[in-house]
Amino acid sequence: MSLGMISLLTLLAAIVIGFVRNANVGILCMGLAMVLGVIFDISASELISGFSSSLFMQMVGITYLFAIISGNGTLELLARKMVALVGKRKGLIPFVMYILGFIICAVGPGAIPSLAIIPVIAIPVAVSAGINPIMTAVIGDLGGMSGRMSPLTPDAAVVRELMEAQGMEGDTVPIMICLTVTALIVMVIVYIYYRGWKVEERPEEEQEHLPQFRPGQLLSLLGLVIMAVGVLFFSWNVGLTGFLIGSILIVIRC
């Protein structure tokens, strides 16, 4: 069996183990790469050369910043405030969840964590409002899929790296537009299939009182805006910018 086939089977094994044991597949793969290197006499320098340091910096920088902003509750509070804006117009909640999914995904974390975060917010809100929770969660995740190729996400960093390696311009915005159009079409289909215009009558509940953003959370949001402006208009490296803003937030205890 060729080394290529063994590598593919090893990757598949890493994915299965990661799923079953709830382990990070990327870290498992790096460890298994060393095992294959020892078995097939591949030097450490050859193994390391297969990893793009530029891509690694981008992904870690974005993830680092997002972990800080998510950890201090900024994104969750922002999401709940956006949902609260609909007030008694509960039929608008699915569309708000789409926008929310887009924003959460596009500001940096990318699709993988966003697809897990959005249903956690969408389902309880939909149940309490008398709206189909499956529809609401799916529409929210479609918003996440729309934003996954934002220039700020790890997903886009991977695609940019591959495009540039093939001599193409590393611009993921056209891809994001295509994904958005596709997601909007699917959203309409989902909305019609689940009859999203039907809202069950529920006893009026006292509206949840949401706290104001803390100073640290406001600074976190400002950091996201600065990163977005810097990356989109001044061609800042998204990974290094994420490290910089994240480090500042840590230093000032946000």
Give the pLDDT of the chain (254 residues) as one tens digit per residue. Answer: 788 899 999 999 999 999 898 888 888 998 999 999 999 999 988 888 887 787 788 878 888 888 898 889 888 788 788 778 877 788 888 999 999 899 888 887 777 777 877 887 888 888 888 899 999 999 999 999 999 999 888 888 889 888 988 889 889 999 999 999 999 999 999 999 998 888 887 665 556 678 899 999 999 999 989 998 998 888 898 889 999 999 999 999 88
Q: Domain end: 51, 68, 84, which one?
A: 51
The number of folded domains in the chain is 2
* Same domain, yes or no: 41 and 146: no
User: What is d(CA 214, CA 246) in angstroms, rounded to the nearest whole number?
Assistant: 17
Ranges of H-type helices in the chain: 3-21, 25-39, 44-49, 53-71, 74-84, 93-106, 111-129, 133-147, 154-165, 173-193, 215-234, 238-251
User: CA-to-CA distance for 82 and 95, rounded, in angstroms?
Assistant: 11
How far is the C-alpha of 199 from the C-alpha of 175, rounded, in Å? 35
Same domain, 29 and 107: no
* Separation CA 55–CA 43 (nearest Å): 22
Q: Same domain, yes or no, for 161 and 244? A: yes
For residues 124 and 206, what is the distance between their CA atoms, to the nearest angstrom? 15
Tell whether 62 and 17 lie within a shared domain: no
Structure-token pair, residue 219: 């600074």
- Residue 104 belongs to domain spanning: 54-251
Give me the count of residues in the chain: 254
Q: Decide: 96 and 82 in contact? Cβ < 8 Å.
A: yes
Work out the end-to-end distance of the chain between its first and last CA atoms, rounded to an integer number of angstroms.
53
Q: Does 206 lie in the same domain as 103?
A: yes
130 and 36 within one domain? no
pLDDT for the residue numbered 208: 65
